[in-house]
Structures are given as C-alpha cells and as structure tokens.
Amino acid sequence: LFNNFTYKTPEDFLYYLMFSLEQLEFDTNEIKLRLFGAIEEGDAVFELCQEYIQNFSIYIPDIPDGLSYEGPKPADNYLVINAL
C-alpha cells in the first residue's frame, strides 16, 4: 500500500506527507520516519520535515559487497517471452 503525489514545492511535499500521516492516525511526535530518494540533508524538503517531525532521517540502503545495480538490460526484460 502506498500513496503517490506530485509536488512542485517543498511545502507541497510537507502538506501531502502530513495529510497522509494524519489520515493514518500517526502521531508525528511518536513515528520514526525514514525517507529515501531525491532528498538530501540540508535541502528545503529535509529542513521542513525536520521542523514538523521529531524522529526523521534519510534512509540509505546498504548494498552488499559484490553487488551493484547497472539498470535493466533489454534482453533480460523479455527472457521468458523470448523462450516461448
């Protein structure tokens, strides 16, 4: 289950985030919120979130040694269909 919102300003982002948390009846003083994606420490979205959510941080997933992601390869995407 997830929500998808298009936003143009950091305030829009915060509005949708706070609205979603309210609808799910999450307390912004209790929840541990981790965001990932196009967000960095110090940018406007990060600063706003820190103002309104007590336990907020950026999630940076660990990539196990030896693994890397180079994106999908066209031949791999159609492997099953090509085998039929």
Distance CA 56, CA 37 (A): 14
């959510």: which residue's tokens?
A: 53
pLDDT of 84 over the 60 cut: no
CATH of the domain at 49: 3.30.420.260
- Extract the tokens encoding 53: 């959510």
Residue 84, in any domain of the structure: no
Residue 22, in any domain of the structure: yes
Give pLDDT tens digits for 49-65.
Answer: 889 888 888 888 777 76
Residue 47, in any domain of the structure: yes
Greater pLDDT, 32 or 61: 32
| Count of domains observed in the chain | 1
Residue 37, in any domain of the structure: yes
3-class secondary structure per residue, the chain? CCCCCCCCCHHHHHHHHHHHHHHCCCCCCCCEEEECCCCCCCCHHHHHHHHHCCEEEECCCCCCCCCCCCCCCHHHHCHHHHHC
Give pLDDT tens digits for 2-31.
Answer: 667 888 999 998 999 899 889 989 898 888
Q: Which structural domain range is residue 14 located in?
A: 1-62
Q: What is the pLDDT at residue 83? A: 41
- Extract the tokens encoding 38: 């196009």
pLDDT of 78 over the 80 cut: no
pLDDT of 81 over the 50 cut: no
Greater pLDDT, 84 or 41: 41
